[in-house]
Amino acid sequence: MATFIPFILYSVVFSTCFSVISSKFSEQSPITMKDMEKKTSLHFYFHDIPGGKNQTSTAIARPINMTAASKSFGITFMADDMLREGPEPTSKLVGRAQGIYGFASQQNAVLLMVMNFAFVDGIYNGSSLSILGRNAVFDNVREMPVVGGSGVFRLARGYALAKTFSFNLYTGVAVVEYNVSVVHF
């Protein structure tokens, strides 16, 4: 009988420890050398086709009763755009830009960009970067923050520089060059 007491005590202590660990709310640990941060630079072209045969984005909302200096204020698009190696529509696909952009200025063509860049090429296949930024589309170069990432881009932070390569005023087709710099683990 007496031999069972240590066993019972052991299992009580052990199970108590176990239940504490399994319900742990938080834990802090130092960042170690093996978690060295890496810097990655990406260069690609964003192809947005808001209408026509190979359409990749569509208006999903329009203001009901707003009179702003900018006629486009409030118009919002959902996009599943191609990210390609080059500016040609036949250039190699490296990812897709999936998300929302909307006209957020009452005066000018300024977009709110809420986008995930989902990559499909090489070691980046399945990884993504999240962009949340202000895009004054008629500025020569626009800078947008990269607020996070997944896969190889876990814990990413950085910035994207965007420059219009071509814009067709009649079809709305835009090709935009992107340089993205991120730091990640």
* 142 residue type, one letter: R
125 part of the interface to ligand NAG, by CB under 6 A: yes
d(CA 21, CA 7): 21
DSSP state of 123: G
> Integer distance in angstroms from the first to the last C-alpha of the chain?
55
Give the distance from CA 151 to its chain's centroid: 12
The piece of 22-30, 70-78, 148-156, 157-165 that touches ligand NAG (CB under 6 A) is: 157-165
* 7 residue type, one letter: F
51 part of the interface to ligand NAG, by CB under 6 A: no
Percentage helix, strand, coil for the chain under 3-state DSSP, each rounded to 5:
15, 45, 40
34 part of the interface to ligand NAG, by CB under 6 A: no
54 part of the interface to ligand NAG, by CB under 6 A: yes
179 part of the interface to ligand NAG, by CB under 6 A: yes
The position carrying tokens 């202000």 is 134
139 part of the interface to ligand NAG, by CB under 6 A: no
Q: Which of residues 62-101 bind ligand NAG (CB under 6 A)?
A: 64-65
Q: How far is the CB of 132 from ligand NAG (least distance, A)?
A: 18
Q: How far is the CB of 43 from ligand NAG (least distance, A)?
A: 6
Those residues with Cβ within 8 angstroms of residue 34's Cβ, 6 or more apart along the chain or in another chain: none
Binding residue (CB under 6 A) for ligand NAG from 161, 164, 167, 181: 161
User: Which residues here bind ligand NAG, judged by CB under 6 A?
Assistant: 43, 52-54, 64-65, 120-121, 125-126, 141, 161-163, 177, 179
